[in-house]
Amino acid sequence: MKRLVVLASGSGSNFQAILNAIDHGDIPAVCVGLISDRPQIGAMERAANAGIPVFVIARSQFDEISAYNTALLAQIDALNPDLIVLAGYLKKIPEAVVKQWSGKIINIHPSLLPKYGGKGFHGIHVHEAVIAAGDTESGCTVHFVDETYDTGSVIEQARVPVLPDDTAESLQQKILIQEHLLLPKVIRKLLQSSYSRS
Catalytic residues: 109
User: Which residues of the chain form contacts with ligand GRF (CB under 6 A)?
Assistant: 8, 10-15, 87-88, 108-110, 140, 176, 179
In whole angstroms, what is the distance from residue 182 CA to residue 141 CA? 8
Q: Are 58 and 117 in contact (CB under 8 A)?
A: no
Which is nearer to ligand GRF, 15 or 101 (by Cβ)?
A: 15
Which is nearer to ligand GRF, 104 or 109 (by Cβ)?
A: 109
CB of 115 to ligand GRF, least distance (A): 14
What residue number has its CB nearest to ligand GRF? 88
CB of 156 to ligand GRF, least distance (A): 13
In whole angstroms, what is the distance from residue 130 CA to residue 125 CA? 9
CB of 89 to ligand GRF, least distance (A): 7
Which is nearer to ligand GRF, 14 or 69 (by Cβ)?
A: 14
Q: Are 142 and 182 in contact (CB under 8 A)?
A: yes
The answer to whether the Cα torsion of 123, 124, 125, 126 is positive or negative is positive
- CB atoms near residue 33 (< 10 Å): 19
